[in-house]
Amino acid sequence: MAKYELGAIYKINGRSGELYYVRLLTNDCYGVFSSLEGELNEETFAQTHYRLYFSCNSFPIKRGIWEKVVSSPNCTDIARWQRPQYLANFANFNMKLFLDQCRVFHEDGNLYQCESKEEFIRLVKSGKILFCFNTYEIIPDFLMRYYKDFPNNYIVNKDFIHSGTLEYQKEQTNVLKELGFDIGNLL
């Protein structure tokens, strides 16, 4: 069984040959790195920000499904590998519901009301959204679909916006307006 190592970097193989690199943070949260420029070493990763975050159980690490590519420089330094304090609870299939609720996942793992709607919108637009997956098998498909232009292509998902009743579609486009997106080309 592979070692579960806080701060280590793991490789996720995509469905079409893409490679994604993630760092294990606290609370079973993973930060997915933006595109890399340079060698696969701690220095390169330290200079690369996280594009998105997700939470998943430790099964793919402990079973060696996700290959460790860089060991943690200090797996006992919990403060260094702390996930962001707040990550938005937001999903693109019913944006109005999630915007009305304005809830965030705190670093303690609990769900709280966000301090303001403006702060919630800032988190969403900056991609600080926590995606909770109960199984690791769907993560490569999720990354393949949304990684490239995240968070924009996740928030403005035409499949969801143009489905459902006319009332639902109007609600979704109104939320996009509130989030500051130009919806002219969606209608």
- Which pLDDT score, from 0 to 100, does residue 1 have? 46
Count of CB atoms situated within 10 Å of the CB of 129? 24
For residue 5, the number of C-alpha atoms closer than 13 Å in the C-beta half-sphere is 20
Domain span at residue 37 reads: 1-83+129-151
Element (H, E) at 184: none
- Which pLDDT score, from 0 to 100, does residue 35 have? 86
Closest CA to 104 of 89, 91, 93: 89
Pairing of strands 111-113, 9-13: unpaired
- pLDDT-derived band at 58, boundaries 50, 70, 90: confident
In the predicted structure, residue 37 carries a pLDDT above the cut 50: yes
- Which pLDDT score, from 0 to 100, does residue 70 have? 94
- Asked if the structure places residue 118 within a domain, the reply is no
pTM recorded for the entire structure = 0.90
- pLDDT-derived band at 130, boundaries 50, 70, 90: very high
- Which pLDDT score, from 0 to 100, does residue 95 have? 92
In the predicted structure, residue 124 carries a pLDDT above the cut 50: yes
Q: What is the pLDDT of residues 146-184, one digit of tens each?
A: 999 999 999 998 888 888 899 998 999 999 999 988 877
- Asked if the structure places residue 57 within a domain, the reply is yes
Q: Compute CA distances 87 → 10, 121, 128, 158, 164, whole Å.
A: 21, 11, 5, 24, 28
In the predicted structure, residue 187 carries a pLDDT above the cut 60: no
Domain count, the chain: 1
- Asked if the structure places residue 108 within a domain, the reply is no
- Asked if the structure places residue 47 within a domain, the reply is yes
- Asked if the structure places residue 160 within a domain, the reply is no
- Asked if the structure places residue 113 within a domain, the reply is no
Average pLDDT, the chain: 91
Q: Long-range pairs for 114-117 at CB < 8 Å and ≥24 separation?
A: 114/86, 114/88
Mean pLDDT of 77-105: 95
- Asked if the structure places residue 174 within a domain, the reply is no
Closest CA to 4 of 82, 83, 53, 72: 72
- Asked if the structure places residue 171 within a domain, the reply is no
What percent of the chain clears pLDDT 70, i.e. is strictly above it?
A: 97
In the predicted structure, residue 69 carries a pLDDT above the cut 90: yes
